[in-house]
């Protein structure tokens, strides 16, 4: 039998409660009084009995006599436990972050390792060009700091595309003058895959190519060495919507076990 059902009202108590302690407007006074008295002792149970279920007087009377309060309470507690377990399970099983991925278009390089081509359509994929003293800023409204320290640095930010012309990442190209020598560094960030840090040689090679060493990589590129070439390819299609050209980046990833110098020498031959 439930606690509510086990209530045994003494006459004095009942009289006291009838004078103004009826808490349930939905139930008949006699039943509500019994619950109200109990309410002082066990607030949660009485709340479930009288308010939560909104039982009619007849139903509440039956509910009290058959011990339904206990079942309801157990159901409620079971619901709480189920809620906790369900929330933990969902959080455990369903990934909070699920990055959209394009298929990696990687091919085997003739001299070993693997090769991946990226490109940047110019000017469409150029997000920012920042340099001291430039006549027109990109984007409009960009203010490059006037401090003398940054007068020899320029930073460009691009969207990077794969061989299928789909945007897959963000890249930055930094150009700086240091002791009359150019420093050209690239960072390429491909969400969910990792990042590349490349230091380019300042001198251009045959065909306007410039080669750079993969100095560091993260995640997927963590254990790789290799090199990247950059090349400007002007557009020759002549289309109205065609870009001016594109910057081609050809990455060759080599296992760490093969010295980079050997790979570079072979590649240049």
> Segment 12-31, which members bind other proteins (CB under 8 A)?
none
In the range 41-100, which residues lie near other proteins by CB under 8 A? 48, 52-53, 55, 71-72, 75-88, 91-92, 95-100
Cβ of residue 269: shortest distance to other proteins, in angstroms? Answer: 26
145 binding other proteins? (CB under 8 A): yes
In this complex, which beta carbon is closest to other proteins, that of residue 159 or of residue 231?
159
Piece of 2-10, 16-24, 165-173, 242-250 that binds other proteins (CB under 8 A): 165-173
- What are the tokens at 241? 């919507």
In the range 204-263, which residues lie near other proteins by CB under 8 A? 215-216, 218-219
Piece of 5-13, 127-135, 225-233, 258-266 that binds other proteins (CB under 8 A): 127-135
> Quick one: how far is CA 64 from the chain centroid?
52
Distance (Å, whole) CA 238 – CA 236:
5
Name every residue whose Cβ is closer than 8 Å to that of residue 6 and which is 6 or more positions away in sequence.
none
Distance (Å, whole) CA 195 – CA 224:
11
The 3-state secondary structure of 140-172, one letter per residue: CCCCCCCCHHHCCEEEEEEEEECCCCCEEEEEE
Contact with other proteins (CB under 8 A): which of 172, 210, 232, 250?
Answer: 172
Q: CB neighbours (10 Å) of residue 54?
A: 12
């Amino acid at each position: 039998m439930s606690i509510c059902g086990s209530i045994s009202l003494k006459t004095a108590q009942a009289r006291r409660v009838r004078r103004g302690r009826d808490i349930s407007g939905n139930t008949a006074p006699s039943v509500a009084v019994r619950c109200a008295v109990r309410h002082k002792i066990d607030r949660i149970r009485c709340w479930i009995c009288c308010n939560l279920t909104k039982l009619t007087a007849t139903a509440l009377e039956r509910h009290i006599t058959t011990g339904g309060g206990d079942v309801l309470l157990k159901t409620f507690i079971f619901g709480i436990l189920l809620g906790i377990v369900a929330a933990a399970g969902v959080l455990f099983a369903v990934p909070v972050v699920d990055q959209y991925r394009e298929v990696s278009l990687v091919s085997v390089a003739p001299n070993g390792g693997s090769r991946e081509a990226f490109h940047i359509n110019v000017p469409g994929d150029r997000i920012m060009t920042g340099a001291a003293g430039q006549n027109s800023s990109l984007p409009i409204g960009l203010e490059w700091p006037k401090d003398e320290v940054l007068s020899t640095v320029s930073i460009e930010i691009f969207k990077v595309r794969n061989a299928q012309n789909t945007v897959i990442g963000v890249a930055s190209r930094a150009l700086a003058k240091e002791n009359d020598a150019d420093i050209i560094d690239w960072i390429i960030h491909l969400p969910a895959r990792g990042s590349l840090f490349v230091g380019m040689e300042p001198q251009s090679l045959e065909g306007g190519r410039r080669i750079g060493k993969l100095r560091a990589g993260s995640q997927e590129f963590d254990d790789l060495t290799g090199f990247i070439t950059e090349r400007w390819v002007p557009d020759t299609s002549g289309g109205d919507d065609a870009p001016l050209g594109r910057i081609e980046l050809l990455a060759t990833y080599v296992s760490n076990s093969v010295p980079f110098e050997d790979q570079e020498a072979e590649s240049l031959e």
